[in-house]
Amino acid sequence: MAISDVSLTAGMRSNLLQLQGTSKLIDRTQERLSTGRQVNSALDNPTNFFAAQAHMNRAADFSNRKDAMAESVQQVKAADAGITAITSMLSAAKGLVESAAATSITTDREVLVTQFNTLMSQIDQLSSDSGYRGTNLLNQGTVTVNFNENASSKLTVNGFNSTSIGLSVSQAGTGANTDWKTGTAGLNTQSAMLDTAINNLRTQSKSLSANLNIITTRQDFTDKMISTLQTGADNLTLADMNNEGANMLMLQTRQSLGTTALSMSSQAAQSVLRLF
């Protein structure tokens, strides 16, 4: 800025500098009151500004992981719903086997074996419908859930082939039609296979439930970490609004007094006008 060609008295120049300083302080205080932060840029406080920025960046990274965790929860829930439905079908199929064993009427058994094979064929269809967002844990799908910002903390949920359970039982039922009509040996074999399939599904359900518990626990932890990081950033940058409000009142008073002092210091220069 060019130096003014107008000469000022020492008193006026001193008061002018004070007014300029007060004006800068008012501008800073107004910014703090409008933003709610005492550190709005690296110029205000480099240490606190960059530390707070690091906290907020990490909180943003955690927030991005939350979406993936929420999707993985739904994928596991979809698989668990499929297991529950398949288990129910297998239990119903076992009921048909027991009904066949309880009667010796051939026509009744023929009806029951038809119902059995129809029911078992539905297991494969139900399994294929248990996918979520392109991943089906009941068809050997895999879900990898990243928990932290650099993906060094993660969980892999491995699926299994549920159709092999249904197919093995269905094939045995189809091949055991003669035993269904005339004897009990095939029925006993069929019942044992159904028990094995149900137990296997229950084991898989426990594994999925354990993984689901881990994911939901990490969701809660992530929410708390985001809150902690945001609070830490705020502690480094937020302004005390009561203090800044008091500062503004004081600065406005100082500005008024400075204006009055500048006017008084100019009176000596104005006295020359009395000579005319």
Q: What is the CATH number of the domain that holds 72?
A: 1.20.1330.10
- Within a domain: residue 23? no
- Within a domain: residue 15? no
CA 259 to CA 247: how far, in whole Å? Answer: 18
CA 189 to CA 95: how far, in whole Å? Answer: 14
What are φ and ψ of residue 183, in 5° steps? -140, -170
Q: What DSSP element (H or E) covers 145?
A: strand 142-146
Q: What does each C-alpha distance from 4 to 48, 161, 270 come to in angstroms?
A: 39, 87, 19
- Per the CB < 8 A criterion, the answer to whether 84 and 204 are in contact is no
- Per the CB < 8 A criterion, the answer to whether 79 and 139 are in contact is no
- Within a domain: residue 130? yes
- Within a domain: residue 197? yes
132: domain range?
A: 58-236
pTM: 0.73
Give the single-character DSSP code of 137: T
- Within a domain: residue 76? yes
Structure tokens at 165: 């359970």
Residue 158 amino acid letter: N
- Within a domain: residue 101? yes
Give the single-character DSSP code of 34: H
Could you tell me which of 227, 233, 221 has the C-alpha nearest to residue 56? 233
What total of structural domains would you count in the chain? Answer: 1
- Within a domain: residue 29? no
CA 62 to CA 221: how far, in whole Å? Answer: 10
| Strand 142-146, strand 154-158: pairing | antiparallel
pLDDT for residue 127: 86
pLDDT for residue 268: 61
User: What residues form DSSP beta bridges with 168?
Assistant: none
By CB neighbour count within 10 A (0-12 exposed, 13-18 middle, 19+ buried), where does 207 fall? middle
pLDDT for residue 176: 47
Over its length of 276 residues, how does the chain's per-residue pLDDT go in tens digits? 455 565 666 667 777 777 777 778 777 778 877 787 888 888 888 999 999 999 999 999 999 899 899 999 999 999 999 999 999 999 998 898 888 888 878 788 878 888 888 888 888 888 888 899 889 999 889 999 999 888 899 999 999 887 666 555 544 444 545 556 656 777 788 888 888 889 989 999 999 999 999 999 999 999 999 999 999 998 898 887 778 788 778 878 877 777 777 676 666 666 655 655
- Within a domain: residue 36? no
User: What residues form DSSP beta bridges with 95?
Assistant: none
Secondary structure of residue 63 in the 3-state scheme: helix
